[in-house]
Amino acid sequence: MAASRTTPSSSSSSSQGGILAALVGTLRGVGPDSAKLLERSRIRTVADLLWHLPHRYEDLSEIKRLRMLRADEKQTALARLGRITQRRTARGQTLTEAELLEEDGTPSTVKATWFGRSFVKQSFPEGQLVRISGDVKWFGRGLQFSQPRLEPADREAVHTGRIVPVYRLTEGIKDGQLRRWLHTAVEGARDRGGTLVASPLVTHIPDPLPASMRSRNDLPEIALALQQVHFPADPIALSHARRRLAFDELLTLQLATAQRRAKWVAEASAPALRASDEELAGWIRDLPFTLTDAQQTRRCRGPSRAARISTSSPRASRARSAHTSSKR
């Protein structure tokens, strides 16, 4: 599922000052070293982070039972962790393997494996109910999750069991880290007991469109649009949010074009060219085509054809100068 590439500039948001202009290192969970890495992607402030939009999505919202999994697909299951073991491979890597049980504790042939993820055994106790998302493949006589994402089933879904945003990364930052930071900025942060300990920051983004324009065009507020672009509730909400961002981008382009055109017209200057009726008739006579009825009507309209040849339009002046030069 590809994402919209409309990424409005964050400069207007950053210029608002306050929370949005705060350095990204002040966000909960982002340390000084991570802030330096984010700066490589031009993410310096909270506003820069909020406008770092996903470049694609993975729809992992359908949660299945282990016995309903299919091979060669990326899927999400609800499972209870069985025995978790670790060992060293011939190449010296740490291999963590977990047996997966059905939600009610019924054994299954499905397992999960991770290379270099030793924290899994320390962070997830045996018997815990989890959401697990990843690629499922045949391994021996059973199915196996390879390098899956894992979250406690009683926690808010960030990396599993939802439409998951995928972001462009810089070296040294993992996708799970960036997704967690953005979730904190967009949805706020909660402790293990579910208490909100950090308020959402996306609500501070100023909306450039008046309520009347949003209502007339059936557009959500910019804060809601950003929230749903980062962590969509469903495909419809994502579509509405992307439509809002696309509308803003097209409106910005149209306004910029209109401003450039107005400036060009205001600053346009060229010497007025005058020609007698005889000269004008000669130019028309030498044309390699016959004027249409509409052109004839326009040519004959007004008190004087010679007066109408005078103009301040540089384009028209250059065209007539070129024609005169070719006659010479």
CATH number of 62-152: 2.40.50.140
Query: Contact at 8 Å (CB) between 180 and 157?
Result: no
Q: What is the pLDDT of residue 18?
A: 85
Q: Which amino acid is at 134?
A: G
Alpha helices in the chain (DSSP H): 11-14, 32-39, 46-50, 119-123, 175-187, 211-216, 222-230, 235-267, 277-285, 293-300, 305-308, 314-327
Non-local (6+) Cβ contacts of 188 within 8 A are 196, 197, 198, 199, 200
Q: Which amino acid is at 285?
A: R
Structure tokens at 300: 């004959």
Check whether 258 has a pLDDT greater than 50.
yes
Domain boundaries, the chain: 11-58+162-204, 62-152, 211-266, 277-327
Structure tokens at 228: 């749903």
The band of 300, judged by pLDDT with boundaries at 50, 70 and 90, is low
Q: Which amino acid is at 2?
A: A
The band of 322, judged by pLDDT with boundaries at 50, 70 and 90, is low
pLDDT digits (tens, 9 = 90+) for 24-65: 999 999 999 999 999 999 999 999 999 999 999 999 999 999
Q: What is the pLDDT of residue 294?
A: 84
Check whether 84 has a pLDDT greater than 50.
yes
Structure tokens at 32: 């000084």
Q: What is the pLDDT of residue 194?
A: 74
The band of 267, judged by pLDDT with boundaries at 50, 70 and 90, is confident
pLDDT digits (tens, 9 = 90+) for 135-192: 999 998 899 999 999 999 999 999 999 999 999 999 999 999 999 999 999 999 887 7
Q: How far apart are CA 175 and CA 177, in angstroms?
A: 5
Residue 169 Rama label (left phi>0; alpha psi -120 to 50; beta) = beta
Q: Please state the pTM of the whole predicted model.
A: 0.76
Burial class (CB in 10 A: 0-12, 13-18, 19+), 289: exposed
Query: Contact at 8 Å (CB) between 327 and 286?
Result: yes
Non-local (6+) Cβ contacts of 120 within 8 A are 84, 96, 98, 114, 150
Q: What is the pLDDT of residue 13?
A: 45
**DSSP labels for 207-251?**
P-S-HHHHHHTT---HHHHHHHHHS-SSHHHHHHHHHHHHHHHHH
pLDDT digits (tens, 9 = 90+) for 211-234: 999 999 999 999 999 999 999 999
Query: Contact at 8 Å (CB) between 207 and 222?
Result: yes
Spell out a b/e string for 228-247, using b for 16 or more CB atoms within 10 Å of the CB, else e.
bbbbbeeeebbebbbbbbeb
